[in-house]
């Protein structure tokens, strides 16, 4: 079985994401990218994506491992590898890249409370397509920003040192994506009324926490629609 060696390029990460989304569509499952790959598609330059994060638009009860197997069965460039954790019941999904023993990891997650990410269910009408990557659906920019903010909160509180070490990069990500949301996309909360009230309320509390530490960001958060 192939194993990862040289890290995938940004173009290869997008290729893997594009292929995964297409495989899901062939099985009547809609999805979109989030995480660092989606951030880069929006124009963020702070970090290069190393893998692909994809969230499904629905949770119809099918196990995520079943969904991964569907992708593998649909496109033979995907394969599964058992977790290194002997107690784990999941497998990791990879997309084969050109070159010797090269691949890109693809994480597939369900929306809602199926995971601790608690990603809201995104209506298919709200998917975004950013030029020149018009064939790759991405999470709306405000939602993506709020997911980044959630990551910052979780990493700060984590008992694991390697996760706490991610906090400085989280801050850079948030500030850059916030700037893009305001200056490049003129994004506003009013344009995303589909977001659940609880999700918005929790996000507002997190924005206040962020502004308390980074007060210069307050004006930008207000432009996005947060009354703080």
Dump pLDDT digits (tens) for 189-214. Answer: 999 999 999 999 999 999 999 999 99
Q: How many domains does the chain have?
A: 2
pTM reported for the whole predicted model: 0.92
Q: Is residue 1 part of a domain?
A: no
Secondary structure of residue 76 in the 3-state scheme: coil
Q: Is residue 37 part of a domain?
A: yes
CATH of the domain at 68: 3.30.460
State which of 77, 106, 130 marks the end of a domain: 130
Residues 224 and 178: their CA atoms lie apart, in Å, by 8
Residues 183 and 175: their CA atoms lie apart, in Å, by 12
Do strands 52-56 and 103-109 pair parallel, antiparallel, or not at all (unpaired)? parallel
Q: 3-state SS string over 172-220?
A: HHHHHHHHHHHHCCCCCHHHCCCCCHHHHHHHHHHHHHHHHHCHHHHHH
Q: Is residue 4 part of a domain?
A: no
Res 116: pLDDT: 82
Residue 184 and residue 92 share a domain = no
Tell me which of 228 and 214 has the higher pLDDT. 214
pLDDT band of 2, cuts 50, 70, 90 = very low
Dump pLDDT digits (tens) for 71-117. Answer: 999 999 999 999 888 777 899 999 999 988 899 999 999 998 877 89
Residue 89 and residue 14 share a domain = yes
pLDDT band of 3, cuts 50, 70, 90 = very low
Q: In this structure, how many other beta carbons lie within 10 angstroms of the beta carbon of residue 98?
A: 7
């Amino acid at each position: 079985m192939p194993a990862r060696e040289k890290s995938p390029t940004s173009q290869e990460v997008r290729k893997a994401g594009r292929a995964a989304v297409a495989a899901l569509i062939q099985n009547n499952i809609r999805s979109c990218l989030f995480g660092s790959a989606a951030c880069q598609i929006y124009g963020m330059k702070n970090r290069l994506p190393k893998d692909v994060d994809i969230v499904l638009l629905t949770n119809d009860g099918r196990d995520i491992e079943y969904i991964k197997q569907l992708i593998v069965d649909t496109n033979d460039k995907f394969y599964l590898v058992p977790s290194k954790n002997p107690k784990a019941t999941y497998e990791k999904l990879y997309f084969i890249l050109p070159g010797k023993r090269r691949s890109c990891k693809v994480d597939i997650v369900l929306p809602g409370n199926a995971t601790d990410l608690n990603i809201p269910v995104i209506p298919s009408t709200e998917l975004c397509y950013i030029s020149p990557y018009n064939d790759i659906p991405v999470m709306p920019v405000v939602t993506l920003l709020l997911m980044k903010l959630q990551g910052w909160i979780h990493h700060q509180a984590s008992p694991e040192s390697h996760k706490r070490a991610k906090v400085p990069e989280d801050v850079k990500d948030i500030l850059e994506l916030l700037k893009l949301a305001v200056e490049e996309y003129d994004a506003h909360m009013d344009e995303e009324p589909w977001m659940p009230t609880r999700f918005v309320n929790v996000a507002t509390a997190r924005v206040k926490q962020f502004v308390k530490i980074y007060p210069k960001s307050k004006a930008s958060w207000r432009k996005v629609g947060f009354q703080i």
